[in-house]
A and B are shown apart, each in its own frame.
Chain A
Amino acid sequence: MVEHMDERGTGESASPVVIEQMVNEQTLAGLSLSELLMRRRGLRRQLAAKAGLHPVRIAVMSSSTPGELIHLLELWLLASGFAPTFYTPEFGRYYVDSVHDTQALVEFKPDIVYVHTSVLDVQGRVPMQATEEQFAALVKSEVARFEEIWQSVAEKLGCIILQNNFELPPVAMLGNLDGTLPGGRTRLAMELNREFAAASAKNPKLLLIDICSISARVGLDRWFDPRRWYSYKILTTAEANRALAMALHATIRAVYGKTRKVLVLDMDNTLWGGVIGDDGVDRIQIGNETPMAEAYTAFQQYCLGLRERGILLAVCSKNNEEIALQGLEHPESVLKREHFASFQANWDPKHENIARIARELNLGADSFVFVDDNPAERAIVAAQVNGIAVPEVGSDVTQYARIIEEGRYFEAISFSAEDLGRSALYAENSQRDAFEAKFADYGEYLDSLEMVAEIAPFKPVYLERIAQLTNKTNQFNLTTRRYTLAEMEQRANDPDCIALYGKLKDRFGDYGLISVVLGHRTGDALEIDLWLMSCRVLKRGMEAAMLDTLVEAAESRGITELRGTYLPTAKNAMVAEFYPSLGFQQEAKPSAELPEGATRWSLDLRRYSKQNQHIQRMEFSHV
């Protein structure tokens, strides 16, 4: 929450806070590539001067010149409190020096061996017209060569091995077929990656560095640099080496148990759009009703995903606790109070609250990652809390998850079943299985969507969306009558009116609030003034579910008949036959005041039977 700090008298300015800072991971992450290269030596001296660094010995068995990579890795490891010593044999001797001439490697006594190879090192050549048999044989011999390395290191050293998988090749001569034909280098890389993944899954000391995805994020064209290869036997760009160094650093931290465990979150403009204390819970941006709300919902889902993989969530927010909790009680909030292991919403400085969270969870703040859209809060926390990671997430919610991922704070070397939240995973698999089945008819298809609808009388929190939907829906709209927010509010509170909204979600997602029905009582009948629905949910049976609920509401008031009108416009021909499709009878004599083409319909409730068959009804906030 950037906007209102000063007014609340917290004594902190929203301008960036200048604080003398130790060089740390944070510093490195904030530097551009050219700044990083320019300042590398100075930074290294500063970092290496720190006391209490943890020594780690790393052998880099590389097929290319690893100097630049090692320099960058060294910086990140120093920033994380390691004092690394490296051993690098002559480039290209990674196989020989790991398997046959192993004396130097053994004498170095590494804690970690990193086998740094590239797709360009794959030795065998498959002819473009290779057969499947030739392809399989090549895969086998390549994997065998690496298995020799892994086995030799395991036997002679018994230490952790980091092995990268393969980037996709810089040129794909067979185009799209490069990934499908046995002669394709892309297919070879993919197959080797599968084999490496399987080998790593079986061997807890063989850790895979996923260069395939690291290089994809950088972009293959910015990954390889042939000029550097021909000039100095470096395969990749400095940018690529930085990305790889950061990934290696994260895994090495994980090897030494320094993985971060807690995600500390601000609330206003971090978990939802807007300032809940000013705007009120009804006006914060969360849910599916606006693009901004969707983006915040997606970020909440990302946070929940981290929680499911074992990361603890905590709130650190400048708010009244009671108001902050309302945000989590918002029906559209993905994150609920029970998802947070610690909850600090008050007006104290954030670094004090983070100290409280650390005490409460009995964890060091150096295992925390702090996410806040406010740069001033980030600066203070980074300066005041030793070892905490404070990614520069900016204030654009669509970028938060990407920027957090970039830091690789939560890199792990394995997951326990408890980490993964096994039950959730099983549920997901069984859903997928169900969807693969074939459908006998449309109804069966609808059932497979596992639709759930919330259909209820208007709630204040939804009035804005109801008015918005009412005023923009033209196609599935029986009367195309427009209402202001105030008019909607008035009808919501009128005991003679029935005003229902419908929300729908299914296995593929949440469609939000997509239908509105409004009627008023005239004697024993209910006159339907408005019936509309978003075309996003056409042919789902949502109309039947709305009608069932409308009938229930009418019957509970002793109403015995529904009456409706179709008012034709240039755009709503699709609902001309809507009422008869639900069993309404056309009134013989339309009243004279109706415009041309309009029709009148009625439904006798004494003979009504339920029509909804495919949608489960419940209140979403309790799901």
Chain B
Amino acid sequence: MSKLTPEQILAELQPIFREVLEDPKLVVDMHSNASTTPNWDSLAHIDLIEMIEQQFKVKFALGELQDLKNVGDLVTLLAQKSQ
């Protein structure tokens, strides 16, 4: 994968969040997390991770999954992995 900027990654994540959280108008930002975003429960989280892995063709390590606190962490991690 060619190198993506954090903004590009965030833009690619938007449709996944909208689909999984079933909100076509949703816009997440770097600070969004499960407690501030409607419908982001544990089941949705599993779907999000699976779809992001499929879409970006990456696999998150166990430790990486554990350390994710918000969308910004996710973007940073994807930026690292896509280098």
Contact = CB atoms under 8 A, between A and B. Distances in A.
Interface string B12-46: 00001001101000000000000000000011011
SS class, residues of chain A in contact with chain B: helix
A33 to B, nearest CB: 7
Nearest to A34: B54
A232 B46 contact: yes
Interface in A225-265: 226-228, 230-232, 234, 238
A232 B60 CA distance: 14
Interface string A322-348: 000000000000000000000000000
A230 B47 CA distance: 16
B22 A41 contact: yes
Interface in B42-76: 42-43, 45-47, 50-51, 54-55, 59-62, 65-66
A38 interface: yes
Contacts of A618: none
B1 to A, nearest CB: 15
A216 interface: no
Contact of A34 (B20, B42, B51, B66): B51
A68 interface: yes
Contact of A37 (B50, B62, B66): B50
B43 to A, nearest CB: 5
Contact of B16 (A38, A65, A227, A232): A38
A231 B49 CA distance: 11
A65 B65 CA distance: 18
Question: Binding site of B, secondary structure by majority: helix, strand, loop or mixed?
Answer: helix
Interface centre among A38, A65, A228, A234 (most CB of B within 10 A): A38
Contacts of A231: 62, 65-66
Residue in B16, B19, B46, B62 with the greatest tally of chain A CB atoms within 10 Å:
B46
A476 to B, nearest CB: 55
A43 to B, nearest CB: 11
B54 A67 contact: no
B50 A67 contact: no
Given A38-B19, A41-B22, A227-B61, A234 B54 contact: no
A230 B63 CA distance: 10
B62 A227 contact: yes
Contacts of B59: 227
Given A34-B55, A232-B46, A41 B62 contact: no
User: In this complex, which of A65, A227, A228 has the most chain B Cβ atoms within 10 angstroms of its Cβ?
Assistant: A227
Contacts of A41: 19-20, 22
Contacts of A226: 62
B50 A238 contact: yes
B66 to A, nearest CB: 7
Contacts of A230: 62
A28 B62 CA distance: 30
Nearest to B44: A67
Given A41-B19, A232-B46, A234-B46, A33 B65 contact: no
Contacts of A228: 46
Which of B51, B60, B66 has the most chain A CB within a 10 Å cutoff?
B51
B65 to A, nearest CB: 5
A68 B46 contact: yes
Nearest to A68: B46
A42 B51 CA distance: 15
A232 B42 contact: yes
B19 A67 contact: no
Contacts of A238: 50, 54
Interface string A583-619: 0000000000000000000000000000000000000
6 contacts: A34-B51, A34-B55, A37-B47, A37-B51, A67-B43, A227-B60
Q: 8 tightest CB-CB pairs across the interface, nearest first?
A: A34-B54, A227-B62, A67-B43, A37-B51, A232-B46, A238-B50, A231-B65, A230-B62
Interface of A: 33-34, 37-39, 41-42, 65, 67-68, 226-228, 230-232, 234, 238
Interface of B: 16, 19-20, 22, 42-43, 45-47, 50-51, 54-55, 59-62, 65-66
Given A68-B47, A231-B65, 20 more contacts: A34-B51, A37-B50, A37-B51, A37-B54, A38-B55, A41-B20, A65-B46, A67-B43, A67-B46, A68-B46, A227-B59, A227-B61, A227-B62, A227-B65, A228-B46, A231-B66, A232-B45, A234-B46, A238-B50, A238-B54
